[in-house]
């Protein structure tokens, strides 16, 4: 096993703190955010190795990726995962043009929403947010990392082999166990995801999965850089009512100028509110 570090140049400015603050994913296992040191890290399994990958900001157009516990030939996979976390390959030019002044944070290196190491992990964690309190989402994510993940987030095959019964009873996923189990099986059988959990199912396919509604499908697509639909849940509805005295339909109609970047515009709005309350 080896320890490694590499400076990774970025084609577009990225602010690590703004990315971490973009939504709640950083609070879900196996993520760890040391705000004082500015280090984002997590346990990962690559092949048979279980180790740690961390990223730290070195400048607006570069990050430093470091790792511990992996064989030297794991370096390409390590870099690929770090790039996915920060959407390092996403070109924000069209979003800046569409959002205008509402997209000002993109110029500061914002506009990226923290992503997990695979589409499948983003999908699972989205399922864990359905009809539950955030504290329960955190607990369920930690349970999956502990078992069946054995220290890292589990692969699709590991979740499937763990079975619906143990997902419900030991991981305490409740009704989400059936949704997750059936969706995992179907996505694997259809080739919508590979054995590592990578994939990019479209909105219609996701809606067709048992237990996946408009909110979950839109949220999963959001994390694939499809910003055309706002994921509407009770928290969003309450926020719009309390802060803007409006409902989701009216909010979206009034911001039609955002076009296919509607969901990104909303996320940037929320991020700006968070910065006003607690500046980074």
Q: Assess contact for 268 and 106: CB atoms under 8 A.
A: yes
In terms of domains, do 182 and 137 share one?
Answer: yes
What is residue 270's DSSP assignment?
H
> What are the φ/ψ torsions at residue 90 (nearest 5 degrees)?
-80, 125
Within-domain flag for 191: yes
140 token code pair? 């369920």
Same domain, 61 and 10: yes
Coil, strand or helix at 52: strand
Task: Identify whether 263 is part of a domain.
Answer: no
Q: Per the domain annotation, does 187 fall within a domain?
A: yes
Position 134 scores a pLDDT of 96
**pTM of structure:** 0.97
**Sequence-separated (6 or more) residues with CB below 8 Å from residue 105:** 18, 111, 268, 271, 272
- Cα separation, 160 vs 167, whole angstroms: 9
Q: What are 23's two structure tokens? A: 């939504």
123 and 169, same domain (yes or no)? yes
Identify the bridge partners of residue 50 per DSSP, sorted by sequence position.
Answer: 45
Our separate counts of H helices and E strands in the chain read 13, 5
Q: What CATH number corresponds to the domain at position 202?
A: 1.10.340.30
CA atoms within 13 A on the CB side of 222: 26
Residue 125 and residue 214 in one domain: yes
Q: How many domains are contained in the chain? A: 2
Q: What's the confidence (pLDDT) of residue 279?
A: 76
Q: How many CB atoms neighbour CB 5 within 10 A?
A: 11
Question: In the prediction, which pLDDT does 2 show?
Answer: 78
Residues 12 and 69 in one domain: yes
pLDDT of residue 183: 98
Please identify which residue in the block is written with the tokens 């914002």: 110
Residues 84 and 124 in one domain: no
Cα distance between residue 262 and residue 95, in whole Å: 10
Look at residue 58 in the predicted model and tell me its pLDDT: 87
CA dihedral 233, 238, 244, 247 (to 10 degrees): 50
Angstrom distance (rounded) from CA 224 to CA 264? 12
Are residue 177 and residue 137 in the same domain, yes or no?
yes
Q: Which two tokens stand for residue 272?
A: 């700006």
pLDDT beneath 50: ranges in the chain: none
Dist. CA 247–CA 208, nearest whole Å:
26
Per-residue pLDDT, 278: 82
Q: What is the pLDDT of residue 80?
A: 98
Domain containing 28 — which CATH number? 3.30.310.20
Per the DSSP assignment, residues forming a β-bridge with 42 are 31, 53
Q: What is the residue range of 36's domain? A: 2-89
83 and 132, same domain (yes or no): no
pLDDT for the residue numbered 277: 86
Q: What is the pLDDT of residue 255?
A: 96
Do the domain assignments include residue 101?
Answer: no
Q: Report phi then psi at 225, rounded to 5.
A: 70, 25
Q: Are residues 71 and 130 in the same domain?
A: no
**Domain annotation covers residue 262:** no
Judge residue 126's burial from the number of C-beta atoms within 10 Å of its C-beta, 0-12 exposed, 13-18 middle, 19 or more buried.
buried
């Amino acid at each position: 096993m080896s320890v490694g570090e590499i400076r990774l140049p970025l084609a577009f400015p990225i602010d690590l703190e703004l990315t971490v603050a973009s939504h709640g994913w950083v609070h879900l296992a196996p993520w760890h955010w040391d705000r004082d040191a500015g280090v984002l890290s997590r346990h990962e399994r690559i092949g048979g190795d279980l180790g740690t990958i961390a990223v730290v900001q070195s400048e607006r157009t570069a990050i430093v990726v470091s790792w511990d516990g992996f064989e030297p030939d794991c370096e390409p996979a390590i870099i690929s995962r770090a790039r996915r976390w920060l959407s390092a390959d996403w070109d924000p030019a069209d979003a800046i043009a569409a959002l205008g002044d509402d997209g000002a944070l993109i110029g500061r290196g914002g506009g990226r929403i923290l992503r997990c190491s695979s589409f499948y992990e983003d999908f699972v964690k989205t399922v864990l947010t359905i009809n539950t309190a955030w504290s329960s989402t955190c607990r369920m994510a930690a349970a999956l990392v502990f078992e069946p993940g054995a220290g890292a987030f589990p692969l699709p095959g590991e979740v499937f082999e763990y079975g619906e019964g143990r997902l419900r009873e030991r991981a305490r996923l409740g009704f989400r166990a059936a949704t997750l189990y059936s969706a995992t099986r179907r996505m694997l059988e259809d080739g919508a995801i590979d054995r590592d959990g990578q994939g990019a199912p479209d909105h219609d396919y996701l809606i067709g999965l048992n237990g996946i509604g408009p909110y979950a499908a839109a949220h999963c697509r959001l994390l694939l850089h499809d910003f055309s639909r706002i994921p509407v849940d009770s928290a969003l509805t309450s926020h719009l009512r309390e802060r803007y005295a409006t409902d989701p339909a009216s909010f979206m109609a009034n911001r039609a100028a955002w076009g296919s970047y509607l969901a990104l515009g909303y996320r940037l709005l929320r991020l700006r509110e968070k910065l006003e309350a607690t500046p980074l």
